[in-house]
Copies of this chain bind each other. A is one copy, B any other.
Amino acid sequence: MAERISVVENILGANDRLAQDNRARLDAAGVFAVNLMASPGAGKTSLIEQTLPRLAQKFRVAVVDGDIATSIDADRAAAAGASAAVQINTGGECHLDAVMLQQALNRLDLSAADLLIVENVGNLVCPAGFALGTHKSVLVASIPEGDDKPYKYPGMYRGVDVLVINKMDLLPYINFRMDYFRAGVEALNPGLVTFPLSCRTGEGLDAWINWLTQHATRNTQHLIPGT
């Protein structure tokens, strides 16, 4: 057992170093990057599809999609207007890690992007344990998943910078106690920036787009001499 633990520690250490390298590359190119995490089917790809057209006038947005298999998500991102879309198939791995993002960055022209959205593998556990080098971590929750998820997946809720609550249009059809859900979130991650929205109806998307716009602008501006 001791051997196994030490190997895992070494891998995590290497991951953090590679994540720092990725961050440095993104910063040098003036690219603001978010790591989008969620349960399978919470709506990460739908959020990307709704986000890209709304940012098209302001930013060039590249997308990296992580999945066990298929290029369904990258195809959807490309169709929605991504300036570039790279699919990572992890084989059996249940999360992205910094090596995988490094390989994806090698295939992207970062000078032709302002914003990078990384769509992680659908999983509420392991992605939280592997830094990628992105600037912000965004968790997409969804109403049909149920109101107990913060309590059952505390590591994920504790570690993110932004919470999107998707599928708000399904609230009338589902027993989802928003107070109970919010209390769990607040206990784990006080003051967490939260955007309730629906990718289906478009409700609430403006606030999310504003947040992304502000952060992407700030990240780009400090790199322009004189601003």
Contact = CB atoms under 8 A, between A and B. Distances in A.
Contact of A145 (B41, B72, B125): B41
Given A3-B7, A40-B145, A170-B144, A152 B92 contact: no
Contacts of A68: 125, 152-155
A148 interface: yes
* Contact-residue bracket for chain A: 35 or more
B3 A151 contact: no
Contact of A40 (B70, B94, B124, B170): B124
A179 B222 CA distance: 50
Copies in the complex: 2
A169 interface: yes
Nearest to A73: B152
Interface string A103-128: 00000000000000000011111100
Contacts of A40: 39, 124, 145-146, 149, 152-153
24 contacts: A3-B7, A4-B7, A7-B7, A39-B122, A40-B146, A40-B149, A41-B145, A41-B149, A68-B154, A69-B152, A69-B153, A69-B154, A92-B125, A94-B126, A122-B124, A122-B152, A122-B153, A123-B123, A126-B126, A144-B144, A144-B170, A170-B170, A170-B174, A173-B173
Interface of A: 3-4, 7, 11, 39-41, 67-70, 72-73, 92-94, 121-126, 129, 142, 144-146, 148-149, 151-155, 167, 169-170, 173-174
